[in-house]
Amino acid sequence: MAKISVERTIGKTKKAVLGGLLGFNAEKMGKQKYKRLAISLREEDKIVGGIVGEVWTTVLFIQLFWMEQKLRGKDYGTRLIKAIEDEARKFGATRSYLDTMSFQAPGFYRACGYEEFGSIEGYPGGVTRHWFTKAL
């Protein structure tokens, strides 16, 4: 009989769950493309900003995006978004999505052409999490 086990380390379970999920997805969708992407903003050799994402099938998921405060509002963010979108298109991406907190950059993403498709309230301090998408 199967039993549920709470674990403090996730390595083995994550590997098993991911393998099972990928196998199931391949049965339903065929072989899938997957590519990780990272675009950095640098001052000499120092990374002062960047964007990290992945393309799975035909969708770019922007996972992480940050830049030093002193560089914000100078068009670097827009250029980083464009760079990762352009790179994702090379891998066949036709859509992009991301999430952000209400105190981070929802207005910025809207200005980059992203449309909100969902949100969750209830984070500490009255913060809301927002999800955005955009056709590439």
Q: How far apart are CA 32 and CA 25, in angstroms?
A: 8
Number of separate domains in the chain: 1
Query: 27 lies in a domain?
Result: no
The answer to whether 60 touches 84, Cβ cutoff 8 Å, is: yes
Q: Express each pLDDT in 31-44 by its tens digit.
A: 888 999 999 999 99
Query: Residue 78 carries which DSSP code?
Result: H
Average pLDDT, the chain: 95
**Does 118 have pLDDT greater than 90?**
yes
Query: 127 lies in a domain?
Result: yes
Confidence (pLDDT) at 123: 97
Query: 3 lies in a domain?
Result: no
Tokens for 66?
């940050």
What CATH number has the domain bearing residue 97?
A: 3.40.630.30
Q: Express each pLDDT in 95-116 by its tens digit.
A: 999 999 999 999 999 999 999 9
Confidence (pLDDT) at 107: 96
Q: Residue 70 sits in which domain range?
A: 32-135
Q: How far apart are CA 132 and CA 32, in angstroms?
A: 23
Q: Which residue has the tokens 């209830």?
A: 122
Coil, strand or helix at 49? strand
Confidence (pLDDT) at 115: 98
Query: 125 lies in a domain?
Result: yes
Q: How far apart are CA 40 and CA 80, in angstroms?
A: 8
Q: Which residue has the tokens 């984070």?
A: 123
Query: 91 lies in a domain?
Result: yes
Whole-model pTM? 0.87
